Structure 1
Amino acid sequence: MQKVIIIPARFSSTRLPGKPMLDIAGKPMIVRVCETASAAPVDQIVVATDDARIQAIVREHGFEAIMTRADHVSGTDRLQEAAQILGLAADDLIINLQGDEPLMPADNLNQVAQLLVRHPEASVATLYELIAVELGRDNPNMVKLVQAENDAVLYFSRSAIPFDRDGLAGPEHFLKRHVGLYAYRKSALDLFVTYGEGQLERLEKLEQLRFMEHGHRIVAQKSLLPIPIGVDTAEDLEQVKLAFLNTKS
C-alpha cells in the first residue's frame, strides 16, 4: 500500500488569477506547497494541474507534475484522474493537499493518512478543529461535523450541528469545524466519479456527502496541530508571505 500526496492546482481563480504561480518569499506558491508536502512520510508527491505553465514551474523546481483534464467539475474528480494516470492500486492511499495551503504542517498530512490506515473499514479520513459555539453556529461558510464514538462521521453540515434545542451549551462546549484535508482510498475515488450528485450534496453544497449518501464511512479526528490559513484572497496572500518571512527559508 502506497501513500501518495496529490496536489490539485488550477491556473484560473476568480479572486486571484494565476494563484499557484504567485510569489511567496521568492518561490511560486505551488512550489512552496510541494516543499511542505516533502516533509511528510509518503511514497510520492505529485501536482495535478490543467495548465502547462504550472507543470513546467513545478518540474523546474524538482517536483513531479502531471497534466489532467480542464473540464473537471470538482477537485475530487481531478484527484481520481491523477491517481488513474499514476497507475495507483485500489488499496493505495491518496492524501489531498490543496495547492493554496503552503503552511499545512506535515504532521497533519501524516495524521490524516494514518487515521485511514487505522480504520480499514473507512473510505475517507479527514480532520477537524474545535471552535467556540458562537463562532460557528450561524456561519454557513464554516462546515461542522458530528461523530459516533469510533471516529465515524455521522453528518457534515453548514448548519449548527448538533442543534442546541434547550440552550444547554456552555463555555465548555465546542463545535467541530471540518478541515478540508482528506485521505482517500483509490477504490473510493474510483466509485465517487461514477456517482451522480446526491440530494444532500446538492442542498448543502458539500462533496463529501456524496460518499455518505452511497454508504461510505468517513472517519475524522481532531488535528494534531492548528490548521493554518490558506490563500483565498489577496489579504490571505500577504499573511502567508509574512509567515514565510518569519519562519521559512
Structure 2
Amino acid sequence: MAVTIFIPARYASSRYPGKPLAALRGPDGEKSLIRRSWEAAMRVSGVDRVAIATDDERIRAHARDFGAEVAMTSPDARNGTERCAEAAAAAAPDDIIVNLQGDAPLTPPWFVEALIAAMKSAPEIAMATPALRCDATALSGFQADRAAGRVGGTTVVMRPDRRALYFSKEVLPFTPPGWSGTPPEVWHHVGVYAYRPEALRAYLTWPEGALERREGLEQLRFLENGADILCVEVEARGAVFWELNNPEDVARIETALGAPR
C-alpha cells in the first residue's frame, strides 16, 4: 500500500489568476504559494511520494526549480479531483491517494496523517476528508467574509456517524449573527481529500452535478452520486488554518506564517 500526495495546481482562476505563483512572505523570505503548499506536504509522515499535478508549463518549470516532482496532466481537468484522478491512473488498488490543494500552505501535517490513518484502519472507506470545528475567531471570520460578499471557506454538515450530508460556501447550519458565549457548532471543511483509486476512477465517469456546479465544490459530485464521504475530526492544536481563496487572504496567511512586519 503506497501513499501518494498530489498537489493539483492550475494557473487560471476566475477569482485569482496566477494564484499558484503568488509570492507569500514568511520568516524564510518570499516563496510562491505552490512551493509553500509543497513544503507543507513534505512535512507529512508516512508518505511515499509527493508530486505537483498541473497542466501549466509555468508551474512545471517553477516547481522543478525548487526540486518538486511534477505530474503533467491534461488541460481538460475541471477541478483538483479530476486532475488527481489523471495523475493516479497507474495507482494500485490498495494505494491511498491524497489531494492536498495548492492553495492551502497552512495545512498542518497531522490533518493529512489523520486521513491516512482512517483509510488504513477501514478498508471499506473510499474517501475521507478533515473537518475542524470552528472556534469563535474562525466562525466570526466566516460570517464577516460572507457579509462582505467573499467566500471565506467551506462548511460541512454531517450525520452522527460523521458521513457528510452537504458541503457549502455558506455558513451551515444557519447561525444567526450576534451570538455570544460558546460558538454554535459549525464545522470548517478542510480542503484535503484521501481516496481509493477506484473512487477516483468512478468520479471521472460521473457528469458534473448541478450542486457541484452551483457551489463550485468538486466533492459534491460524490454525494450527488450516492457515495459516502467520511469526515475525520481534526484539531488545530493552536495552528492557524486558512486557504488562499482571495487576494485579501495573502495578508492573513503571511501573518500566520510569521512574516516580518
Question: Shorter-chain TM-score category?
Answer: 0.7 to 0.9
Aligned position for 2:191: 180
The CA distance in 2 between the partners of 1:181 and 1:79, in whole Å, is 12
Aligned position for 2:104: 101
* Equivalent position to 2:32, from 4, 7, 28: 28
Q: What SS does structure 2 have at the residue aligned with 1:193? A: helix
In the TM superposition, 1:48-197 aligns within 5 A as 48-84=53-89, 87-131=90-134, 141=151, 143-157=154-168, 171=182, 173-197=184-208
Q: 1:177 to 1:241 in 2, by over 3 A?
A: closer
The CA distance in 2 between the partners of 1:149 and 1:245, in whole Å, is 37
Q: Give the C-alpha shift of residue 205 in structure 1.
A: 4.3
Q: CA RMSD in A?
A: 3.0
Moved over 6 A (4+): none
Q: What SS does structure 2 have at the residue aligned with 1:207? A: coil
Quick check: 129-138 or 50-59, which moved more?
129-138
Q: What SS does structure 2 have at the residue aligned with 1:26? A: strand
The 8 Å contact of residues 80 and 101 in structure 2, kept in 1 or not, is answered as no
Q: 1:172 to 1:238 in 2, by over 3 A?
A: closer
Alignment length, in residue pairs?
Answer: 241
Q: Give the C-alpha shift of residue 73 in structure 1.
A: 1.8
Q: Give the C-alpha shift of residue 218 in structure 1.
A: 0.9
The CA distance in 1 between the partners of 2:245 and 2:170, in whole Å, is 22
Q: Give the C-alpha shift of residue 190 in structure 1.
A: 0.5
Instruction: Give the residue type in structure 2 aligned to 1:11.
Output: Y
Aligned position for 1:19: 19
In the TM superposition, 1:196-211 aligns within 5 A as 196-202=207-213, 204-211=215-222
Instruction: Give the residue type in structure 2 aligned to 1:234.
Output: P
The 8 Å contact of residues 231 and 240 in structure 1, kept in 2 or not, is answered as yes
Instruction: Give the residue type in structure 2 aligned to 1:217.
Output: D
Report sequence identity in percent. 38
Q: Are 1:8 and 2:11 counterparts?
A: no
Per the normalisation by structure 2, the TM-score is 0.79
Q: 1:174 to 1:66 in 2, by over 3 A?
A: same
Instruction: Give the residue type in structure 2 aligned to 1:16.
Output: Y
Instruction: Give the residue type in structure 2 aligned to 1:244.
Output: L
Q: Are 1:229 and 2:242 counterparts?
A: yes
The CA distance in 1 between the partners of 2:174 and 2:14, in whole Å, is 34
Q: Give the C-alpha shift of residue 214 in structure 1.
A: 2.5
* Equivalent position to 2:49, from 39, 44, 47: 44
Q: 1:50 to 1:150 in 2, by over 3 A?
A: same
The 8 Å contact of residues 111 and 224 in structure 1, kept in 2 or not, is answered as no
